[in-house]
């Protein structure tokens, strides 16, 4: 481990004291923040030359970002346990036998969740809940009560909305109960996705999902055919909208801020031939080093019960090659060339966006990592949703807020050009007029048409909903207002949502 400067030590001490004295943070939020600050004092990775210059702390200058993973990888960023195995076999470490009824099932899962780490210190995946709970539903009223308490417990103890549950792709009583209860509770946690294939699920089930989404911003709709084709039947949706393998996960996720990188180039050719390849190479080698330390030195897979009992397997992990700000990148390059037209409104601009994404994909396909065998030795492409501190950098490949096309069909066609490149996640969000609550079939028809156009993932919420989708996670408007007033709030993602509202104008999306 390399020595660090006393200036950095003293700066960290000051930040720790500021955290201790912060009266808007709960005790749990302070502990998590101080742990991250302590991690910043570590220097255990062999960093690629040029990396630190590209990780400028200024949001509008930063080009490579590790998304808060820290300087010493202690565990994989996203962990996807095989909860079905746990329900069948129990756990020796947790001293739990397989559950026999709905109360034991929900209690066992809640215990398990306390022991699933991630970059947020909370589980980013809590299971395909309808499949897990369906075998234990004997009396529907009893099951409804158990599931209501179960979901309430999750919301009050898993304190950020990057925690994600799935339902589908089949019609189950448990899935219907989960959606009905979520509509009653209107909670931000857990995030929820419906794996949707119109050939498998009946229309009334999809309509219930749409009605629930318009009430509480979940579930989102995942294109089951697309995910299944790329990742296999045993994929999950975790965290924001991340497609990953069951029993594995993602070692790391880093992202390149394309809009900031484009500022450095003199022209489109200069960007494509000089700046983009340089930044991609440094980010890939940085991810390689993070993975190497995690696998070879951290001891996580040798010591953690999840691995020792077979709930996760090292060879089912991959990593996520992320990007944001494609719109700002294209627009900046057009300005440098003196071209008119903007991303999302101009065929030539959109074509350039596709060329840039395809160049990133080609680089990723050429790069090999020995520990990502489950995805052919490559990272998975990911359109990252952004950070609360981002400025002038739209999530992934999205059209900037305030510049959305008038036509929803045109907007969805644009989405379809880009979604196919990102098997580990990309999505678009659409606030919908309150009147749509009376016609959820309208939303289902939109989803069906979008999926035909290769749209991967769609989220909706009513324009008057308290629970809203920020970028890929959920927050309550009412909780944001509490935080603005200087009060404590339960979920730490509320702070992120407030930052996104201020810096990314997420409350100003075009209402459809």
- What is residue 211's DSSP assignment? H
> How is residue 505 written in tokens?
């104008």
Each residue's pLDDT tens digit, 152-170: 999 999 988 899 999 999 9
What is the reported pLDDT for 307?
Answer: 98
505 pLDDT above the threshold of 70: yes
Instruction: Check pLDDT > 90 for residue 43.
Output: no
Question: What pTM was computed for the model?
Answer: 0.93
- The C-alpha atoms of residue 82 and residue 311 are separated, in whole angstroms, by 5
Residue 319 — pLDDT band, cuts 50, 70, 90?
Answer: very high
Q: Is residue 8 over pLDDT 90? A: no
Q: What is the pLDDT of residues 377-435, one digit of tens each?
A: 999 999 999 887 888 899 999 999 999 999 999 999 999 999 999 999 999 999 888 87
Q: What's the mean per-residue pLDDT of the chain?
A: 94
pLDDT of residue 348: 97
Q: What is the dihedral of CA 230, 232, 235, 241, to 10 degrees?
A: 10
What is the arithmetic mean of pLDDT over 33-41?
Answer: 81
- Least Cα distance to 474 among 244, 110, 164 occurs for 164
Question: How far is C-alpha 8 from the geometric centre of its chain's CA atoms?
Answer: 31
Whether 512 has a pLDDT exceeding 90, the answer reads: no
User: What is the rounded CA–CA span in Å between residue 39 and residue 25?
Assistant: 20
What's the pLDDT score for residue 470? 85
Percentage of the chain lying above the pLDDT 70 cut: 99
Place of tokens 């992120």: 496
pLDDT of residue 23: 87
Q: What's the chain's length in residues? A: 512
pLDDT higher than 70, residue 293: yes
The answer to whether residue 3 scores a pLDDT higher than 70 is no
Confidence at 32, pLDDT banded by 50, 70, 90: confident
Question: Taking 80 as the threshold, does the pLDDT of residue 42 lie above it?
Answer: no
133-148: per-residue pLDDT in tens?
999 999 999 999 999 9
**pLDDT (0 to 100) of residue 45:** 92
| Sequence-ordered list of residues with C-beta below 8 angstroms from that of 150, at least 6 positions apart, any chain | 106, 109, 110
Task: Provide the pairing of β-strand 467-469 with 457-462.
Answer: unpaired
Phi, psi angles (nearest 5°) of residue 112: -60, -40
Contact 289, 45 (CB under 8 A): yes
DSSP letter at 183 equals H
Distance (Å, rounded) from C-alpha 241 to C-alpha 234? 15
Nearest partner of 316 among 370, 364, 373, 367, judged by Cα: 373
- The pLDDT of residue 160 is 86
Query: Distance between CA atoms of 62 and 227, rounded to whole angstroms?
Result: 31
Helices 102-113 & 140-157, crossing angle to 10 degrees? 10
Query: Among residues of the chain, what percentage have pLDDT more than 90?
Result: 76
């Amino acid at each position: 481990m390399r020595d660090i400067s006393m200036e950095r030590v003293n700066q960290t001490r000051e930040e720790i004291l500021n955290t201790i004295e912060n009266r808007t943070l709960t005790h749990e939020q302070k502990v998590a923040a101080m742990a991250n600050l302590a991690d910043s004092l570590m220097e255990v990775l062999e960093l690629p030359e040029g990396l630190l210059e590209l990780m400028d702390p200024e949001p509008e200058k930063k080009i490579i970002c590790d998304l808060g993973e820290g300087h010493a990888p202690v565990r994989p960023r996203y962990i996807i346990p095989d909860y079905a195995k746990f329900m069948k076999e129990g756990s020796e470490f947790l001293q739990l036998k397989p559950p026999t009824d709905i109360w034991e099932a929900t209690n066992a899962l809640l215990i398990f969740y306390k022991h699933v780490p991630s970059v947020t210190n909370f589980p980013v995946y809590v299971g395909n809940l309808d499949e897990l709970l369906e075998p234990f539903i004997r009396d529907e009223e009893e099951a409804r009560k158990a599931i209501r308490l179960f979901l309430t417990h999750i919301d009050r103890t898993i304190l950020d909305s990057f925690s994600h549950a799935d339902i589908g792709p089949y019609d189950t009583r448990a899935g219907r109960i989960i959606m009905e209860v979520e509509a009653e509770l209107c909670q931000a946690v857990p995030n929820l996705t419906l794996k949707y294939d119109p050939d498998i699920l009946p229309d009334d089930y999809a309509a219930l999902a749409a009605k629930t989404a318009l009430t509480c911003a979940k579930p989102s709709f995942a294109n089951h055919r697309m995910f299944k084709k790329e990742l296999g039947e045993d994929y999950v949706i975790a965290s924001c909208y991340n497609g990953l393998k069951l029993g594995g996960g993602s070692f790391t996720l880093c992202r390149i801020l394309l809009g900031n990188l484009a500022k450095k180039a003199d022209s489109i050719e200069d960007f494509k031939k000089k700046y983009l390849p340089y930044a991609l190479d440094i980010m890939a080698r940085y991810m390689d080093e993070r993975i190497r330390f995690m696998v070879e030195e951290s001891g996580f897979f040798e010591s953690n019960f999840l691995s020792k009992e077979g709930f996760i397997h090292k060879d089912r992990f991959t990593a996520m090659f992320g990007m944001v700000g494609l719109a700002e990148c294209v627009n900046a390059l057009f300005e440098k060339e003196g071209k008119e037209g903007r991303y999302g409104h101009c065929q030539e601009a959109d074509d350039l966006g596709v060329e840039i994404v395809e160049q990133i994909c080609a680089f990723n396909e050429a790069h090999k990592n020995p520990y990502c065998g489950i995805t052919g030795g490559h990272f998975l492409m990911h359109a990252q949703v952004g950070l609360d501190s981002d400025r002038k950098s739209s999530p992934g490949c999205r059209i900037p807020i305030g510049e959305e096309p008038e036509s929803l069909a045109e907007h969805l066609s644009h989405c379809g050009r880009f979604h196919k490149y990102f098997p580990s996640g990309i999505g678009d969000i659409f606030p919908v007029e309150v009147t749509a609550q009376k016609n959820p079939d309208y939303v289902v028809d939109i989803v069906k048409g979008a999926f035909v156009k290769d749209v991967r993932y769609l989220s909706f919420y009513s324009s008057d909903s308290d629970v809203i989708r920020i970028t890929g996670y959920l927050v309550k408007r009412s909780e944001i207002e509490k935080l603005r007033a200087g009060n404590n709030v339960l979920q730490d993602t509320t702070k992120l949502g407030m930052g996104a509202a201020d810096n990314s104008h997420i409350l100003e999306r075009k209402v459809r």
